[in-house]
Amino acid sequence: MSSKPTVGYIGLGIMGKSMAHNILKAGFPLVVHNRGRGAVEELVAEGANEAFSPAEVASQVDVVFTNLPDSPDVELVALGSGGIIEGAREGLIFVDNSTIKPATARLIAEKLTAKGVLALDCPVSGGDIGAQKGTLAIMVGGPEEALEKVMPIFNVIGKTITHVGESGAGQIAKAANQVMVAAQMVAMGELMILAKKAGTDPEKVVAAIQGGAAQCWSLDVKPERLFAGNRQPGFKAFMQAKDLGIVMDTAREYGVPIPAAAVHTQLFDAMLQMGMAELDNSAVIGVLESLAGTGLLDE
């Protein structure tokens, strides 16, 4: 019998599938569930077991992870009919890697705690590359005792694990993260289109500024893909827009003016209206290309 805790993973999208794969590869017994069959079959072929509802996952594991699109999805999977709460036993640890509203994270934690379940809101950052390499930043809200128990699993999927505070604090940190990510993506697009329209080689401009004060993750990772004409995700634009909606809702809740983030939210919303919802968040440059009348790769 394995000495490692049995782990459940629900939500096997671009990020979740890679994270589940790394957990399995590290030797943790794994039970998976997902609406789509492809990722489930792939992980089962690697040695995972399949369950057919969130409750069934919860009943078989010591720690259950979720990685789902939005707040209502997590609430349904955690608390709804056939949800984790129905299969949970006392001592189960719930870890949510989704990006959701802080208020929803607190509600779920409250309901699960009443059932004897320890709940952590643990959104992640680092994109598909970080998920594949196991180098994600993990922002943790919830009880420290639960974090200590799942730290061996976190060390498999992440490089930087920070306990931010009580329930909901991880989601506040992720909202702050998405303010910066959106700003970087927009600024990167603006500087590239500025260079292009001013008659300068954008690739050389990026090379010139990457080692200076403008250095950031986005400039390190994204330009090579954009210059190659690759705007596939990565992190999908509609998810970035959803996250910025959470940012704006949270800012309103606490009375915080965030004028630049508001403009960035409009640009990502424009991506959706222009048919770019499934592209990478760096493809926000497409909105700027339209406004400037100049394409990054135009001759």
Spatial CA neighbour of 77 closest among 162, 12, 152: 12
The secondary structure element, H or E, covering residue 30 is strand 30-33
Instruction: Determine the distance from the C-alpha atom of residue 171 to the mean position of all C-alpha atoms in its chain, rounded to a whole number.
Output: 11
Counting every residue written for the chain, the total comes to: 299
Integer CA distances (angstroms), 15 to 11, 97, 176, 293, in order: 9, 9, 20, 34
Catalytic residue positions, numbered: 174
DSSP calls for 100-139: --HHHHHHHHHHHHTTT-EEEE--EESHHHHHHHT-EEEE
Spatial CA neighbour of 226 closest among 256, 260, 203: 203
Integer CA distances (angstroms), 89 to 10, 57, 179, in order: 17, 12, 37
The answer for 212, left when phi > 0, alpha when psi is -120 to 50, beta otherwise, is beta
What's at 213, amino acid-wise? A
Q: State how far the Cα of 50 lies from the Cα of 162, in Å rounded to an integer.
A: 31
